[in-house]
């Protein structure tokens, strides 16, 4: 369903399991960035009524996710660390087409959001299936379901504001780029991506 070109290396879950405080910290900031990205879409495109209506509740949801991760850290006696440079998101941003019309830039933003949701969803699924701790498996299952819904929302918004062929062809370029990007990033258990 997600169309990702490169499945996550199966060793990643084991690495993540060994650095729980770091992975939860990184996860918390992924949720914060998701909320921030939604707020910024609304600020940039207040004239797109559907977008504002659909994205506004997702801001609350992503911030709720951030708080869920905080609570999980707290329950485990772990601490939220500092945010680190996000090479994955940085890499995806570099593939964005600069210039063009407002609509062109909207398409780029929506597809990047969709892609990050898709990859997060894939990784949450792995965690929900393969972690040893049953509570953590259930914790991650909830995120997997939510992020799958966000992925669909961003793709549908892209199709609403841009023609379908254009969305599909640019989406395929993004998928290919993302697969190559991940191949070139170090496999790290302290990062969600
Ligand atoms: Fe989220
Ligand atoms: Fe999300």
Please spell the DSSP secondary structure of the chain, one letter per residue. Answer: ----SSPPPTHHHHHHHHTHHHHHHHHHHHHHHHHHHHHHHHHH-TT-HHHHHHHHHHHHHHHHHHHHHHHHHHHTT---------HHHHHHHHTSPPSS-HHHHHHHHHHHHHHHHHHHHHHHHHHHHH-S-HHHHHHHHHHHHHHHHHHHHHHHHHHHHS-HHHHHHHHHHHHHHHHHHHHHS---TT---
pLDDT value at position 61?
Answer: 98
Domains: count for the chain: 1
Determine contact, residues 155/171, Cβ cutoff 8 Å.
yes
What digits encode the pLDDT tens for the residues 102-127? 999 999 999 999 999 999 999 999 99
147 C-alpha vs ligand 2 centroid, how far in Å? 4
Specify if 9 maps to a domain. Answer: no
User: Within a domain: residue 155?
Assistant: yes
Query: Span 13-27, mean pLDDT?
Result: 95
Mean pLDDT of the 184-190 span? 88
pLDDT number for residue 1: 59
What separation in Å is there between the alpha carbon of 67 and the centre of ligand 2? 14
- CA-wise closest residue to 2 among 157, 154, 185: 154
Q: What is the pLDDT of residue 2?
A: 80
pLDDT > 70 in the chain, percent: 99
Neighbours of ion ligand 1 (CB under 5 A): 31, 62, 65
Q: What does the block give as tokens for 47?
A: 């004239």
Q: What pLDDT does 188 receive?
A: 87
Mean pLDDT, the chain, whole residue set: 96
Q: How many CA atoms lie within 13 A of 25 on its CB side?
A: 16
pLDDT of 5 higher than 90: yes
75 CB-near residues (< 8 Å, 6+ apart): none
Instruction: Using the mean position of ligand 1's atoms as its centre, give its distance from the Cα of residue 119 in Å.
Output: 12
Expressed in angstroms and rounded, the spacing between residue 127 Cα and the centre of ligand 1 is 15
Q: How confident is the model at residue 12 (pLDDT cuts 50, 70, 90)?
A: very high
| 51-82 residue pLDDT tens | 999 999 999 999 999 999 999 999 999 999 99
Residue 192 lies in a domain: no
Q: Specify if 72 maps to a domain.
A: yes
pLDDT of residue 29: 98
| Polymer length of the chain | 193
Section 166-176 average pLDDT: 97
Establish if 193 belongs to a structural domain: no
Q: Looking at the domain assignment, is residue 111 inside a domain?
A: yes
Domain that holds residue 105: 17-184
* Nearest listed ligand to the Cα of residue 38: 2
Nearest ligand atom owner, CA of 32: 1
Asked whether residue 12 is assigned to any structural domain, the reply reads no
CATH number of 168's domain: 1.20.1260.10
Decide if 55 is inside a domain: yes
Q: What is the pLDDT of residue 10?
A: 87
């Amino acid at each position: 369903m997600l169309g990702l070109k490169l499945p996550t290396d199966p060793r990643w879950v084991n690495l993540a399991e060994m650095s729980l405080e770091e992975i939860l910290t990184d996860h918390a900031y992924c949720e914060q960035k998701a909320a921030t990205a939604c707020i910024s879409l609304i600020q940039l495109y207040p004239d797109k009524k559907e977008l504002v209506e659909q994205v506004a509740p997702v801001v609350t949801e992503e911030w709720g996710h951030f708080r869920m991760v905080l609570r999980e850290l707290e329950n485990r006696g772990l601490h939220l660390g500092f945010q680190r440079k996000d090479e994955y998101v940085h890499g995806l941003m570099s593939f964005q087409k600069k210039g063009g019309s407002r609509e062109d830039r909207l398409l780029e933003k929506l597809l990047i959001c969709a892609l990050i949701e898709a990859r997060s969803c894939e990784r949450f699924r792995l965690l929900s299936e393969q972690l040893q701790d049953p509570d953590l498996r259930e914790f991650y299952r909830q995120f997997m379901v939510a992020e799958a819904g966000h992925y669909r929302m961003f793709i549908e918004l892209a199709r609403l504001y841009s023609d379908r062929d254009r969305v599909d062809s640019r989406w395929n370029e993004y998928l290919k780029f993302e697969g190559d990007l991940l191949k070139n990033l170090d496999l790290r258990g302290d990062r969600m991506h």
